[in-house]
Homo-oligomer: A and B are copies of this chain.
């Protein structure tokens, strides 16, 4: 066991505030206050999200943080019409992407099994499905890590991913999967909360 593991407080349940902040009361913000979000906060989001688990420690998710005026202009033009205004007003925006060549990091990330890099290199279907699944899993971690910082997240699938990729990832290695507005809620930031599935429709027992 590592020193980290021995000091684990990992079985401390989240208190009520924590559960509210991450799950039960958190909402997708549709408007943002002008309060800035600093680069240190953006780095901190990733410093949380990066620790959550992925298959064979592959960590295929990549993050482009957009917060300059020029960067935002380049991004907004590829957003769906209904999302342009939200993205234009968010203090910071994260473009989440999958690294299509994530397997090249495997010798460093999974040092006891470096040969897995070659397995992925020669199996396109396995590489693609592992990258897609685990980057989406990490996108879930990322959204909750935004909330963990006390910030509102606004995830959006409505954008031209080919346009975003050509704009920001011209070498073709990263492929955008989700855009997440990040900031403090503005005026009338929430729509009415939509229903969740009844557990009778979403869970079974054996």
Contacts and interface: CB of A to CB of B under 8 A. Distances in A.
Contacts of A52: 22-23, 26, 140, 143-144
A25 B61 CA distance: 20
B23 A9 contact: no
Contacts of A170: none
Interface residues of A, number: 96
B206 A71 contact: yes
B196 A14 contact: no
Interface in A1-48: 1-2, 4-5, 7-15, 17-28, 39, 43, 46-48
Contact of A18 (B28, B53, B136, B148): B148
A7 B1 CA distance: 43
A16 to B, nearest CB: 9
A104 B134 CA distance: 26
Determine which residue in A52, A133, A138 has the highest number of CB atoms from chain B within 10 A of its CB, and name it. Answer: A52
Contact of A21 (B14, B64, B138): B14
B196 A51 contact: yes
A201 B105 contact: yes
Contact of A14 (B22, B28, B108, B111): B22
Contacts of A188: 1
Interface stretch (A83-91, A114-122, A150-158): A150-158
Contacts of A193: 2, 4-5
Contacts of A138: 140
Given A5-B192, A23-B51, A74-B206, 5 more contacts: A2-B190, A15-B17, A18-B18, A51-B196, A61-B202
